[in-house]
Structures are given as C-alpha cells and as structure tokens.
Structure 1
Amino acid sequence: MNVGLCGYGRMGREIERILIARNHAVVTRIDPADPDADCSSAAAAPLRRCDVIIEFAHADGVAQNARLYAEAGVAAVVGTTGWDSLRDEVRQIVGQRIAYLVGSNFSVGANLFFRIVTHAATLANAFDEYDAAVFESHHNRKADSPSGTALTLGAKILAVMDRKTTIVDDTLRRPIESWELHVASMRVGSDPGTHTVSLDAAADTIELRHRARSRAGFALGAVRAAEWISGRRGFFTVDDMMDDMIQRQET
C-alpha cells in the first residue's frame, strides 16, 4: 500500500517503522509542527497518491480532513480522539464514498480488554453490591483527558450495568451518586497508557488492568486496520475489524 501519515509525532514515526517492516510505502507525512514532515496540512498533501491515510492528529481538524479524504477518494484510519460530538457529521461526510475506520485505541490487547471488561461488567450487573469505576494514567504530554480509551471503557460498562447511567469525568467535590460512573485520570512522566477498571464491593475488589509497554501495539493495530479496510467502503470502527478477525479465526 501507499500510505500517508497525518500526524508525524512519536506515534506517526512508530507507524512508519511498522509500515516499512510490512513492506508498505509512506508517500507523504503531514504535520504542521514537525520540520521532517512533507506537508503542513492535508489540504496541501498529495492525497491522491495514497491508498490510505493513517491519522493521529488534533481533533479540531478531523471533520475537514475527512472531507478532503472523501473528495480525493482515499481511505482513512483515524486514531485521533476528542471529537465524539462530530461523529455524526463525519459519518455523513464519508457516506459510502470511502472506507473510514475510527478507534479510540487500535491495540489488539486493548480491544481484547474492552471485551473482557464488558463480560465482567455483565456478570457484575447481577450483583448490586458491586460498584464500578475507571482509572487511567498517561504521559504528561497527552493532550486530552480522560483518554478516549477510558471513555470507551465507560461506555461499555454503561451499556451492560443497569444501575450505571452517567459518566462523570470531572473533579468531584461531593459524594458520587449511585448511578454515576467515575472515570478518573492522571498525567505523569512517560506512561504510554494504563487503564484500570474496578468492580468494588464491601467484601472484595476485582481489578482489571491493561498496561501498554510502548506505542508499538497501538501502531501495529493502526497498520492492521489500514490493511483491513482495503477494498471496503463506509464508516467502520475497530470493533468491526476485531469481529471480522475473530470470526475468521473461529472458522
């Protein structure tokens, strides 16, 4: 594949390393702040040379970039977080013109973790003594808080625990309500990402944790997603890719 990178920071460079190792070509690098990038914006990039764009950039550019990708007929894998309020708009922009795959976390391990947490929360739903919470920590350069992964975990818990209806992710200066799910964050040092889900009762605590050792897992997952969407059209999530891969393994 000929691949364009939108966002050429640490993640973009790790994705480039894996692309080359898997015999793909990087034909353009887009980043307004990196002197090693080829272009400062998607509008200035040779998008039609690309089979797919892998985007890990800033949320404020997602909708405009999606429009440019659709006009150029280039597929996109988007790991940028913090734009959930624009999802319907982007879905309309994309339509069936291109393949557009989004995810808060492309790591295979993290996506297996999502499924493990969903199953555990489903079991805990039958026992009302168990409360639930999500805690995440990341390096001190991460731009958003809480992480997209933490919010995804929260949404999956809300979907299966009847007594939890609302995510609270700001500082609490009051007792938390029983229907609220607290999603808490910490920014420190160089942590590439740790997410913990607690199911807590008076008698015991169950903790489920995913800890990334590096960006390699995220980057490999993004490259796999770019390979997976080849020949497809429409708006997809990482769950669609994971479902397909698991089903193929089962058959």
Structure 2
Amino acid sequence: MKIALVGYGKMGHMIETCAKAMGHEVVATIDVVSKDASNLVAAGDYAAVAEAVKNSGADGVIEFSHPTAVLGNLNALIPLGLPVVCGTTGWAKSEAEIEKLCASSNGTCMRSSNFSIGVNMFYKIVEEAAKIMSEYSEYDVAVWEAHHNQKADSPSGTALEVARRVMNGNKSKTEMVFDAFHEKPKANELHVSSTRVGSVPGTHTVFFDSPADSIELTHRARSREGFARGSVVALEKLAAKIAAGSLSKGKLYGMSDLF
C-alpha cells in the first residue's frame, strides 16, 4: 500500500519504519513541528493536511498526532474517502460526531486507544477475569497505568478501555474515578490511577484484591514497536475488508471489528 502518515513524531517515525519493513511505501509524512517531515504544515491548517494526503496518491492514512489536533485532522481526512486509521487518544467524547461525518461523507475510520495485538488480547482477558471475580464480593478491583512523561493525556486511552472491560465483566462497578480519594471509596466506584514518569512506553495493571490475597494482571509494552506495527496491520485489514465487502464504507470502526 501507499501510506500517508499524519503526525510524524516518535510514533510516526516508528510507524514509517514498520510500514517499510512490511513492504509498504510511505508516500507522505505530515507534521506541524518535525522538520524532517515531507510536508510541514502550520498548526490548525487542516486543509493543508488534506491537500498533502490527496497529492501524495496514498491508498490509506495513519493518523498519530496530538489530542488538540486529532478532530481537525479527522474532519479533513475522512471526506477524502481513503481508509483512515487513527491512534491518537483523548477524543472519546466526540466519537458520535466522527460517526456522523463518516456516514455523511461515505468515509471510513478505524480508531483504537491501542493497536498492539497483545493489548487487544489483554482486553479480552481482563473482561473475562472481571466476570469471574465478580462472583466473589471479597475481591475489589482497580486499574493503574504508567506512561512516559511526554504523554499529553491522562488516563491513557488504553486504561479507559481496560476500565470499560472491567465494568463490562463486573456490573457492580458503575463509575470510574480518576482523581485522588479524599474519603472512603464507594462500592460502585472503580479507581483508575495514572503515573507519568521517565520513558515508560506503557504499563497497565488490573488489581483484584481481597483480605486473603491479591491477583494482578499486567500488560507491559517493551517499546512503541508493537503499537506501530499494529496500526499498519489495522490499515491493511481495514482496506482488505472494505475491498472484500465484509466491512462497508461510511462507518467508524474499532479493533474488535478487525480481530
């Protein structure tokens, strides 16, 4: 495939390396800061982003930019009609808006808080574990995540999805709490805590704790490569499924639609 990368920071560079190693051609790299990008655009100039992608002859787009830019990028990219894979987090509250845009423009977008194959398997394990453990009221549950100190959002999109999976499995947890507690937690509250430190690529842990013992489920990324490779695999699968007719244009998809 010919791939355009929107966002050419550390993740963008890693995605380019993975895409080339997997036999794809990166025909455009677009960024507002990285001087080695093939297209350096002004912050907020989303028309220039769309024009750069259009002129590149790309077959698909991978967007890994910044929470402040992602909605502008998606609004510019989706109407182009190319499959768009988005890995930028921090816009969950605007998903309905992007769904409407996909439908109205017959565009296609695939979003995930984490494209790592291992993380997506972790989601399934966590949900099943939460379901099993919910039968034993002595076990409480919490979620913790750690990332590098350059990450712009907190909690991570992956942590939010892990928390959603916990709540899917354990119906007694109905509310996520991200702040510090200043009083005893309520039984329905799920604490989702975050740490930002150093160069941690990403660690997510689910705790099941009782007076007698504790169980911990952890996914620990060794590098960004798993996220980068997964995003390329997602674009491959999205394009192939649209071509085969098993997925249709005009929709916003998630990783569960591909795996």
With the shorter chain as reference, the TM-score category is: over 0.9
Query: 1:235, CA displacement in angstroms?
Result: 1.4
- Structure 2 counterpart of 1:150: 159
- Structure 1 counterpart of 2:107: 98
Which digits, 9 at most, give the CA deviation of each residue in 1:199-241, with x for residues without a partner? 1111111100000000010001000001011152221101111
* Aligned equivalents of 1:158, 1:225: Cα separation in 2: 26
Q: In the alignment, does 2:257 pair up with 1:240?
A: yes
Is contact 1:69-1:75 (8 Å) kept? no
Percent identical pairs in the alignment equals 43
* Aligned equivalents of 2:223, 2:80: Cα separation in 1: 33
Equivalent residue of 1:59, what SS?
coil
Q: Which amino acid aligns with 1:43?
A: A
- Structure 2 counterpart of 1:43: 47
Q: Which one of 190, 202, 206 corresponds to residue 199 of structure 2?
A: 190
The 5 Å alignment of 1:109-188 reads 109-188=118-197
Which digits, 9 at most, give the CA deviation of each residue in 1:108-164, with x for residues without a partner? 011111111011001011111110000111111111111111010101111121210
Which of 21-30 and 10-19 deviates more?
21-30
Q: In the alignment, does 2:33 pair up with 1:16?
A: no
* Aligned equivalents of 1:83, 1:44: Cα separation in 2: 22
Structure 1 runs of 4+ with >4 Å offset: none
* Aligned equivalents of 2:78, 2:63: Cα separation in 1: 14
- Structure 1 counterpart of 2:32: 32
Which digits, 9 at most, give the CA deviation of each residue in 1:73-128, with x for residues without a partner? 12100010010110000110012712210000000011111111011001011111
Is contact 2:127-2:166 (8 Å) kept? yes
Per the normalisation by structure 2, the TM-score is: 0.90
* Aligned equivalents of 2:79, 2:151: Cα separation in 1: 31
Query: 1:63, CA displacement in angstroms?
Result: 2.6
Equivalent residue of 2:71, what SS?
helix
Is contact 1:51-1:75 (8 Å) kept? yes
Which digits, 9 at most, give the CA deviation of each residue in 1:13-40, with x for residues without a partner? 0000011111111111111111111132
Which of 229-238 and 17-26 deviates more?
229-238
Per the normalisation by structure 1, the TM-score is: 0.93
Q: Which amino acid aligns with 1:147?
A: S
* Aligned equivalents of 1:70, 1:195: Cα separation in 2: 31
* Aligned equivalents of 1:172, 1:52: Cα separation in 2: 44
* Aligned equivalents of 2:158, 2:180: Cα separation in 1: 19
Change (3 A) 1:54 1:42: farther
* Aligned equivalents of 1:165, 1:119: Cα separation in 2: 17
Is contact 2:78-2:84 (8 Å) kept? no
Which of 35-44 and 221-230 deviates more?
35-44
* Aligned equivalents of 1:219, 1:43: Cα separation in 2: 26
* Aligned equivalents of 1:137, 1:59: Cα separation in 2: 18
Equivalent residue of 1:60, what SS?
coil
- Structure 1 counterpart of 2:89: 81
Q: In the alignment, does 2:244 pair up with 1:227?
A: no
Query: 1:64, CA displacement in angstroms?
Result: 2.5
Q: Which amino acid aligns with 2:40?
A: C
Query: 1:7, CA displacement in angstroms?
Result: 0.9
Is contact 1:47-1:74 (8 Å) kept? no
Superposition CA RMSD, Å? 1.3
